[in-house]
Every structure is written in structure tokens, then in C-alpha cells.
A and B are shown apart, each in its own frame.
Chain A
Amino acid sequence: MVKHFISLEWKQFKRASYFQKGIAIKILLFLAFIYFGGAALLLGVGLFFILRKTMPDVDPIITVNNYLVYWMLMDLAIRYFMQQLPVMNIKPLMVIPIKKNSVIHYLLGKTVISVFNFIPMFVFIPFSVVLMASGYPVLKVLPWLTAMYCFVLTFNFTNFLINKSNKAFFVILAILAVLVGLEHFEIYKVSVPMGQAFNYMYNNPALCLIPVLLLVGTYLLNYRFIQKGFYLDAEISKKVEKVKSQDLSWMNRFGKVAPFLKNDIKLITRNARPKQVVLISFIFLFYGVVFYTQDIYKDMPAVLVFASIFVTGGFLLTFGQLVPSWDSEYYKMLMSQNIPYRQYLESKWYLMVFGVSISFVLSLPYLYFGTRIYGMIAAGALFNIGLNSFITLIGGALNRVPVELNVKSKAFGNTNGFNPTQLLIGLPKFVLPMLIFYVPYYFISFESGLIALALSGVLGIILKNVFLSKIEAIYQNGKYKTIAAFGEKK
């Protein structure tokens, strides 16, 4: 039986559209896997030595145990975000004589083979090997390693239980933030009791049975969950969502582009993929923290400009780069409707301006880093509105990849809306502002660099109609190709 399943899976994998995409993407994905795998492996080997060097008084295994809790929460958060629920095409199997149980066991077993379960082991296994090679007792290390693997799998199954609700993600994220905060300000160190617990477990290998039991428990829970839902009308058929009605009539003031804007708001709030993208774009807001706090960048304002573009450009970069693709599911209708391309593009431009403006308002706390930094963010925001928005729209015309709206994107599995053209068209979005800033900065002063950057954005806004006409022509030219590409079955 399992043999049949595996052959089905293999066909699904081999014939999936992403696999038949360009060789360039395959190589990129492969490199990404090698990179992450390699990085994990290196970390695993080096961890012991790094810890011994940086904290010579503490046994490395104790340090690792102390911080395990953070890894766990982060692991859960990342999984929630990236790991897809296992889907097997169950419908056709329901009517043929196969035992329900074997389908479910197979389905659950399949999830074990996931990048998310491999990467942590790429760290833990070499770390354990180094431990044993350095004379740590095998009888303690091996049970500990087993316990870690059980934890990894427990999270794997826990994720499937909580993945359905958005709340769980935010709860985990909030717990993580609070714990990190408490730890950072030395109010309460959760790593202490948790660390003690893990260390206790390490010293009493018999206790490693607990994670084993946890694993069995979550597995059974999942099993029961799926078993209960093993009917067409339950889990397998798509969940019918309750309608959230929104009153967006206030947007009518935007005139002709209002219908599109209202539609885009609904698009974002009612579909899984755009929601995910918008969440990611929020993370971009924190990009500045990484750069502005590093002393080495103090004297490299061009690099800081790069970061500033990110701070306000999160939505523009992530949502904007998929601009016509968001409407790919009903593009044919739009093209046969009474819509000038111009209005459609203009509405997307407004949407991006919205995104940048909101990000700019949210970036107010960056004033903490001083007015110079905040000036950069402001100039960057103007550049984003005035030029990057148009560059993004042009990029969209060349990006003809259909997007499935209500499906979350997977890590390493889903190359929806990702191609080398995108990477190329993405370059000017960062290089251009750095150049515009750097030249006057180098020859005149910091302030003149900022002014140049801001002015370039203002100029873009003034020339909006010229740009839009040009972009409209590009879209018009590619119309048939775009329709054909969006019509392709995924």
C-alpha cells in the first residue's frame, strides 16, 4: 500500500509545475538548501567550540540547554509561517478500498520528511558528535539527542494542530517577544528554570522518555483529528469562511480608482497569500534597527540609505512586485471589462503610496536614532513613492507568474511569483537611491544627498502621468502573453 502512495507522491512531485520551471530556479533552490543546510552543519560543529571560547566558565551543553526554549518558540513561529499542512489528494482515495488508518498514518508519516525537521538535526547531530568526541558520556548525550529529535517532531505535529488559527501565531510571537524582553532587561529569565529542567533531563537520561511521550501524544492527537475529519464534508473539502463585511464606502473619495482600491483591500484581508505578504512587509519595518545600531555603518551613509528604503518600502517591495499577479485568477475578466489599463495601474500606485505612508508613520520611533537617520527615512519614503513605485509597476509587467490567492506560500516548495527577471528588476530599487544619495553626498554634503534623494521622489510624483502612460504601453504590449501565462493551470 505504502508503495502505491509513494509512487503517487513521486509523480505529484515530478509533475508539479514548479519542478518544470526554468533550470535557473532549480539551481537557486538547490543552492538555498545547500546554504542553509551547510550553515546549520557548520553551526552544529562549531557550536561547542564557540561556546567554550565565549563562556569558558559554563559547560557548553548547559548553555545550549539554557537557550533551548528560545529555539523552540522560534521554531514554532517559523513553522507556522512557512510549513504547509500536509495535503494528500484524499478525495480519490476515499472511494477505493484502502484502510483509512493506513492513509492517515502515511499522511502523518510523510510530514516527517520536511526541511523543517532536517535543519535542526543538522545542528544537533554534529553538536552531539563533537560532545561525545570530547569525552562527554555517550549514555547521556545519545538520550539527549533522541529527546531533541522528539521535540523537533513534536513541534512538527503541534504545528498542524495550531496552524489553522491565526491567533496561535500571534500568541507564540507575543510570548517570544515578552520572554526576550524580560530576559534582555533582566527582569525574569525564563531560560533559567527551563534551562534547569533541560539540564536535569540531560543528567537523568530516563527523563528523556517525556519528550518521547509528548511526541506520541501529539501524533495521536493529529491522528484522531484527521480521522474525525475523514469525510468529504469535514476537513477535506475546503473550509467555507464566514464573510467579513467591511464598509469601505469612505474610499469612494478616490474617484475612478475607488472600485479597485476597495477590491484590493478585500483582496488583502480575505486571502491567505496576500495576508502573509503583508505580515512579512511589517517585518521590513525593523530592518533599520539592524543597520542603525551598528557602528560600522555610521560612516557608510549609502548603506544606511539602503536600509531606509527597506523601512518604508516593505509593502511596496513585497506586495508591489506581484502586482498584476494578484489579479491573475480573474485577469481575463478584467481584460474584457470596461476598464482602461490606466485606471487599474493608477489604483495600484495609490495602494503602494498608502503602504509607504503607513510604514512612514509607523517608523516614527526611529527618531530615537536622531534626525539624520529620520531624514534618511523620510527621503527614502519620498523616493519609494515617487520612483520605486513606478519601477515596481514596470517589474510587474515582466512578471507573468500566476498566484494562487488563498494558498500560503511554502518554503522551498512554492516558487509562485519568483523568477530571475524579478531579481534583476529589483536591483534598481536599491542601487538607484544609493547612487542618487551618494554622488551629492560625496561631492557636497550629507544634507545635499538627502535633498537630492527627496527631490528625485518629488520629481517622480510630478511626472506621474508621464510614467503611467509609459507603463500602460508596456502592459498593453504584453497583454496577450500575460493573459496566456495567468491562464496556465498551476
Chain B
Amino acid sequence: MIVTTNLSKSYNENTVLNIESLSIPSGQSFGLVGNNGAGKTTYFSLLLDLIQPTTGHIENNNVRVNESEDWKPFTSSFIDESFLIGYLTAEEYFYFIGELRGVSKADVDELLKGFEDFFHDEILNQKKYLRDLSKGNQKKAGIVAALIGSPKVIILDEPFANLDPTTQIRLKQIIKDLAQKQGVTVLISSHDLLHVTDVCERIVVLEKGEVVKDIETSEATLKELEAHFSNIEVA
């Protein structure tokens, strides 16, 4: 589904990402971990064609993302709060995204019904603009908006950060369902090793822009990751 070839990104000689090859098959739940500055967000931004690759390219379902826009209809994402429109209410935002993705108001409502638990009565019918919601609630709205329009690829940057424990647990279930039952390719990044190992079938560790580990998740994965991250030298 997603094939990365010879991809690199540098800012004035300073290479922040360098991935020779990485392919993520369709329907996989894929986790990206790494310390700050490892290149996680850079990779996602390249995948969404928000920044230009220095060399190489990414193909999303055989579409080169920096050459054609045809990947947009089946790809959705939530990277940070700048993906929200602050002056809309959550409902208005969902309907807006729905209109962009060709989903009717009724269908959006239908989808939202399934997330009543997840929202915990803090998102819908709030009479508040998104900019006035708390960080955690903004994130909830953004994540659900990324699910509108049955995308085949979903990209979530740090989805667990700022969420309360209950919501984290619910989100994990949602992500698992997406990959296992609906065959959606889900890419997430996280600092929380426990969550990632819980959710992802495969975990890639980035360090200073390079892939240093590529693990099929198993019982031993969490231990392995913890060992890896506690032994990283502070350069």
C-alpha cells in the first residue's frame, strides 16, 4: 500500500530523515516510535505531501504523493490542532469534512453515533467552538474527523497524547478494529511504548531520521523497546 523509496529530507545540509526503503502493506496497523527529533512527524508530513522530499518518493497505493493528488480521496489524517478549524463547532467541522469527502450529513451523523462513547458527551452539542475546547477534546474531534469518508489509509500523529485514560483505551480499540475488521492501513506515531505495542502489528523505531528497528509485534516487543530506549546514548 505505502512504499517508500530512497526517501530523504534535509534542511541546509542537515539530514532529518533518510529512509532507504520501507513498505507498509494494506491493512496493517503500523507504529512509528522514536525520541523527539527522530523524524516521525517529518515522515508523516512527507506522506501527506506537506513538505517536499529532498530525494526519493513515497507511493501511496501506487500514486506518487508529490506528483499527483489522487491519493487524497482515500487518505485521511490528523497531525495536530492545525488540522482543526477553530471557529467551527465540532458538528460543523464534521459536516464540513464530510462535504469535502462526499459524505452526506445523515451519513456523518450515523458515523458519529458510533463514537458516543468515545466523545463522552464532551464534543457534540457543546455550543462551543473547537478553539475553546480543551486539548484532549480537540484531539478527539480531530481523530474522529479523520475517520469520515471510509478512508483506506489513516495517519495519526501522537493520537494518545493529551487524552484521558478512558479515551486512550477506547481509542486503542477503535484503531484495532479499523485495521483488523475493516482492513484500513493505520499509521500512528507515539511516545508511549505500551500503547503502540498494544495496538500495532508492526513497529518501526526511528533514530535521527534512520530506521534502526523494524519489529513484528510480539510478547517480547515491549521489553525490547524499553531496553532499546533506555540504552540510547545522549548525544
Contact = CB atoms under 8 A, between A and B. Distances in A.
Given A243-B127, A329-B82, A483-B51, A337 B100 contact: yes
A337 B72 contact: yes
B127 A332 contact: no
Nearest to B48: A336
Given A243-B127, A487-B82, A338 B87 contact: no
Contacts of B86: 329-330, 405-406
A469 B9 CA distance: 30
Contacts of B75: 336
Nearest to B126: A243
Interface stretch (A121-129, A234-242, A348-356, A442-450): A234-242
Interface in A202-255: 238, 240-243, 245
A335 interface: yes
Given A333-B82, A406-B86, A259 B132 contact: no
A332 B49 contact: no
Given A243-B89, A405-B87, A332 B79 contact: yes
Contact of A263 (B89, B96, B149): B96
A270 B129 contact: yes
B229 interface: no
A199 to B, nearest CB: 50
A336 B97 CA distance: 11
Contact of A340 (B50, B69, B102): B69
B131 interface: yes
Interface string B77-119: 1010011111111001000110111100000000000000000
B83 A332 contact: yes
Contacts of A340: 69
B223 interface: no
Contacts of B49: 335-336
Contacts of A96: none
Taking residues whose C-beta sits less than 8 angstroms from the other chain, chain B's interface range is 20 to 34
A342 to B, nearest CB: 11
A332 B84 CA distance: 10
A238 B129 CA distance: 12
A338 B100 contact: yes
Nearest to B78: A333
A271 interface: yes
B120 interface: no
Interface in A130-167: none
A490 to B, nearest CB: 13
B96 A259 contact: yes
A338 B73 contact: yes
Contacts of A336: 48-50, 72, 75-77, 79, 83
Contacts of A332: 48, 50, 79, 82-83
A339 interface: yes
A358 to B, nearest CB: 22
Contact of B128 (A243, A484, A487): A243
Contact of A241 (B69, B84, B132): B132
A333 B84 contact: yes
A261 to B, nearest CB: 11
Contacts of B51: 480, 483-484
A335 B87 contact: no
Interface string B124-161: 00011101100000000000000001000000000000
A245 B127 CA distance: 9
B157 to A, nearest CB: 11
A107 B79 CA distance: 37
A330 B129 contact: no
Interface in A321-365: 329-333, 335-340
Given A271-B87, A330-B83, A330-B84, A241 B129 contact: yes
B52 interface: yes
B52 A480 contact: yes
Given A329-B86, A335-B48, A338-B102, 7 more contacts: A263-B88, A270-B129, A330-B82, A405-B87, A406-B87, A406-B131, A480-B51
26 contacts: A240-B128, A241-B132, A243-B128, A258-B99, A259-B99, A259-B100, A262-B96, A266-B88, A267-B87, A271-B87, A329-B85, A332-B48, A332-B83, A333-B84, A333-B85, A335-B48, A336-B49, A336-B76, A336-B77, A337-B100, A337-B101, A338-B149, A339-B72, A339-B100, A406-B87, A406-B131
Interface of B: 48-52, 69, 72-73, 75-77, 79, 82-89, 92, 96-97, 99-102, 127-129, 131-132, 149
**List of 7 A-B pairs having minimum Cβ-Cβ separation, nearest first:** A333-B83, A259-B99, A270-B87, A336-B48, A338-B72, A243-B127, A240-B132
